[in-house]
Structure 1
Amino acid sequence: MSELLFKSYEVARGNFVKNVEALEESMVDVQPEGFNNTLHWHVGHVLTVAEQFMFGFPKKSTNLPVNYVEVFGNGTKPADWQGEVPSVQVLVEQLKEQLGRIKEIPVESFDAKLKTPFLGQETFGELTNFAIFHETLHLGQMQAMKRMIKAVQVK
């Protein structure tokens, strides 16, 4: 199962990064009507939540700045951003680096039971599968936002 999880993560992350790299700079910080966040936020959110799920960020992982939880964590929004926020380009590089770290996780880890079930997931492998689902869910949101932004820009 672990090889399938690695492959699934690689496919999901590859598509996510490809879509982000294709975004026009003029749209990444636009918040379309009816949406709570921006494309920029989604990129950082996917990175941050994956780090939380896969590496126990911020308590067990120092691969990302601690303030990412305050900027991109659940319940955050760009309207509340203060100070420096990493660019989409920086976040993309961190997404690529993170995938490399994910692929180095020992395969036996995926069978390990979580101390406390999380969102109905009982093993680390199930949590990994949920992280992949989370990433693709946000990619879908981003694609919808991109269409909305383009529609408004055309008018």
Structure 2
Amino acid sequence: MSELLLKNMELTRGFFLKNIAALNEEIADVQPAGFNNTIRWHIGHVLTTAEQFMFGYPKQSTALPSNYMELFATGTKPSDWQGDVPSVSELTEQLQGQLKRMKEIPVESFKEKLEKPFLGQETFGELSNFSLFHESIHLGQLQAMNRIIEFSKSK
């Protein structure tokens, strides 16, 4: 089961990175009507949330800058951003590095019980699987936004 989870991490993140690589970076900060955020926000949100779920950011992990919570946590929005905001290429590099660290997690740790259940997840493996589910949802948002923006530009 744990090996399958690690393969799914690589698969899901691979698709996410492939979609980012295919983006026209000029549209990363366009917020189409009907959407709460931008493509860049979704990329940073996936990175930040995965770091929280997998590594205990910001208390236990210092792999990401501390201001990422203010930029990309649930409930944040680009219209409130102040100060330095990472580029899409910087976020992409961090996603790649995060995947490497995720693949180094010992498989036996996925069986560990969480101190208290979180979002119905009781083990670290279940939480890791939820993180992939979350990433897939945002991949769909990224794809939909990209299509809408590109379509509206062609009119």
Normalized against structure 1, the TM-score is what? 0.99
Match of 2:107 in 1: 107
How far apart are 1:69 and its partner, in Å? Answer: 0.6
How far apart are 1:154 and its partner, in Å? Answer: 1.1
Structure 1 stretches of 4+ with a deviation exceeding 6 A read none
Match of 1:140 in 2: 140
Match of 2:47 in 1: 47
Match of 2:38 in 1: 38
Question: Is the partner of 1:3 in helix, strand or coil?
Answer: helix
Match of 2:92 in 1: 92
- Equivalent residues in 2 for 1:1-155 (5 A)? 1-155=1-155
**What's the CA shift string for 1:128-150, capped at 9, x where partnerless?**
00000000110001111111101
Question: Is the partner of 1:9 in helix, strand or coil?
Answer: helix
For 1:55 and 1:44, the matched residues in 2 are separated by 16
Q: Percent identity?
A: 66
How far apart are 1:26 and its partner, in Å? Answer: 1.5
How far apart are 1:45 and its partner, in Å? Answer: 0.4
Q: Which runs of 5+ in 1 are unaligned?
A: none
What is the RMSD computed on CA atoms of the aligned residues? 0.6
Mean alpha-carbon deviation: is it higher for 121-130 or for 142-151?
142-151
Structure 1 letter corresponding to 2:151: A
How far apart are 1:73 and its partner, in Å? Answer: 0.7
For 2:64 and 2:52, the matched residues in 1 are separated by 10
Q: Which runs of 5+ in 2 are unaligned?
A: none
Normalized against structure 2, the TM-score is what? 0.99
Q: Give the aligned length.
A: 155
For 2:51 and 2:104, the matched residues in 1 are separated by 14
Question: Is the partner of 2:95 in helix, strand or coil?
Answer: helix
**What's the CA shift string for 1:41-91, capped at 9, x where partnerless?**
000000000000000000000000011011001111101000110000000
**What's the CA shift string for 1:80-103, capped at 9, x where partnerless?**
000110000000000000000001
Question: Is the partner of 1:117 in helix, strand or coil?
Answer: strand
Question: Is the partner of 2:122 in helix, strand or coil?
Answer: strand
